[in-house]
Amino acid sequence: MRKKKIIRSLNYQPTKLVRHQIDNPFKVMTYFFIDFTIHETRDNLLELYQGWVYHSPAYADDQAIKDMLCFYIQLREFLEDSYLYTQLTKHM
């Protein structure tokens, strides 16, 4: 029942997940870190953020810039926690 509710909430959002990704999100996270090391992921995320900051002054107000910085920080934490989770779970 819980999984159906989660799937239903995903269906109301844009998603590109296919059935096997929904059934095994751990595998998706594991493959992500096989394709991109944690160091490369941090660097790529920082480049994306810096590119947004460089091009945003024309249209972004102070609140939008603060929100993007908060998003960058929390997404980096989420990626690092996901990496830790995949590494710790792999060795169980």
Mean pLDDT of 63-88: 94
Count of structural domains, the chain: 1
Containing domain of residue 83, as a range?
Answer: 2-90
**Do the Cβ atoms of 54 and 62 come closer than 8 Å?**
no
Give every CB contact of residue 22 below 8 A, 6+ residues apart in sequence. Answer: 7, 10
Res 23 pLDDT > 90: no
Structure-token pair, residue 92? 């169980």
Over the chain, what is the mean pLDDT? 87
Mean pLDDT calculated for residue range 62-67: 91
